[in-house]
Structure 1
């Protein structure tokens, strides 16, 4: 891990851009406020996912959530660029799958399982090992102790990561991504506490499939917050209950 820039905001939060090999990322850490004579409190980490639109395009939303977690709850937060996204090299198979998805949606044709698999599974297969490597590097930094939560992003990436990564203690997922059939089987083996957001009128996704995936999760503690509105209309007030969910499980 190599840090390339840093800035400290008025709320004391430190933002540092980094590269992990060739993968760009951003880390936000809270200001240290130990009580007099007390040892510093452990600093949990939230790994924030995002759709494959590029870190620069997603930065305002990612930074807003990360700075809230750091300033109000004392969490560290980090995100890394997805494969084939932002400034990373294009992956032709993903580009072809996205083009085919755009074609069938424009034509009013059904989105087949084959299109969904081609769109999502290669991303999951590469992104999850990269996220685990990022956790290795982030948890080796001074002052970041864990445990770890995962939030947002492509929901299939979150499902796989929650299944295979024992350092993930809780996950806040955004329902709505196209989900391959195999991910429903993996979801049945996910047992960490879950906090899931669903936009009821999401124009590009299947509401029933999102509900079926929520039902499939094997977690004994899982909460679904459904709000009216389209894909990008998640209410701002959902930020606080999501943060309190992580506080219950990471503190």
Structure 2
């Protein structure tokens, strides 16, 4: 892991850009020794410094947690492949025409997961040990990556997931997850059918899961849910 920049804010939170095996990312650490580590995955079309990712990182660091995020394949500072361009064009065309693009989004998310999961596990191997408390926070495409990652990675002890619906692959992965899960669902989400979100929540094998449904669209997760997610991961 090669760190390329280093800044510290007035509240003592240190932010370091890095590149690991060609994958760019950011590591935030609190003023004191971190009590745990959060893997923070961004949503589709976003990047490692998207406003929501930055807000999440500073919330967690203020609570004493280290946070790491990566640019997902084809996002941020990473080169796009022909597959990235093809899916983006087809999804945009169908959405503009008022057609259902759900199957295409699910196919692209599965491709993203296959590419990104080995990268996340490699970064986790390379990070300095913080504790045995590793959590995951990612919604939408972040959950498409996170659900199979959490299922495969025994170091992750808790996860905040959501804004995504059931597919055969995600249901299979959810059935292998036994760590505590906090699942976010927006009741009026036009991108993710409500029933598909409920089916996926039901598929998680863990007995320590909670469903957090709120009115509003895909990007309208309320403030109190964000604050509670930090408490959940820090607990």
Task: Give the TM-score normalised by the residue count of structure 1.
Answer: 0.86
Q: Is the 8 A contact 1:116 1:180 kept in 2?
A: no
- Helix, strand or coil at the partner of 1:131: helix
Partner of 2:225: 238
* Unaligned segments of structure 2, at least 5 residues: none
Measured in 2, the distance between the counterparts of 1:175 and 1:54 equals 15
Structure exhibiting the larger radius of gyration computed from Cα positions: 1
- In 2, are the aligned partners of 1:151 and 1:171 still within 8 Å (CA)? yes
Q: Does 1:194 align with 2:184?
A: no
Counterpart of 1:9? 9
Quick one: distance in 2 between partners of 1:243 and 1:57? 18
Of residues 52, 57, 61 in structure 2, which corresponds to 1:61?
52
Give CA deviations for 1:48-95 in whole Å, capped at 9, x if unaligned. 01113242661x221221111112x21111101101111211121132
Give the gaps of 5 or more residues in structure 1: 33-39
* Cα contact 2:48–2:69 (8 A) shared by 1: no
CA contact (8 A) 1:54 1:87 kept: no
Q: How many residues align?
A: 233
Partner of 1:149: 135
Partner of residue 116, structure 2? 127
Is the 1:120–1:179 Cα contact (8 Å) retained in structure 2? no
Q: Which residue of 2 aligns with 1:110?
A: 100
Distance in 1 separating the partners of 2:85 and 2:192: 19
Q: Per the alignment, in what secondary structure is the counterpart of residue 15 of structure 2?
A: strand
